[in-house]
Amino acid sequence: MRGLILVAVLMLSGVAVAADSNTFQVRTAGDLVRVCSLAPDDPLYKNAMGLCHGVLLGAWGYYDSTVTAEDRFVCSPNPTPTRAAVMDGFVVWAKSNSQYMNDVPVDALFRYLAATYPCAK
């Protein structure tokens, strides 16, 4: 888990994604929630959703490729939820768990994933 957190911190600290000459900064879970909460009629909505889904896919891809089966604490259910459903769920969860809003984005994301999609052991 420490390795996952370290890579996530390196990937996301100071990450800037250009979006129609504006920049999304994602340094905290609150930042990620704010970006992932843009309304569909916002002109930056598509860019924001691309960033949100990219964070989710990158974090999950790293976890999936580096954490052995016996060490997993998050498991994808069957059927696998859509990326949009996972991100929407994360936003709702994060707003209800505001004590994590200053966490590293991927830490908060995995808190949500572990609570929502725990592995059956």
pLDDT in tens, 26-71: 999 999 999 999 999 999 999 999 999 999 999 999 999 999 999 9
- Which one-letter DSSP state was computed for residue 71? G
pLDDT band at 2 (very low <50, low <70, confident <90, very high): low
pLDDT band at 120 (very low <50, low <70, confident <90, very high): confident
Instruction: Answer whether 0.85 is exceeded by the pTM.
Output: no
Whether residue 91 has pLDDT greater than 80: yes
pLDDT band at 14 (very low <50, low <70, confident <90, very high): very low
CA–CA distance, 69 with 36 (Å, rounded to integer): 30
CA–CA distance, 13 with 9 (Å, rounded to integer): 6
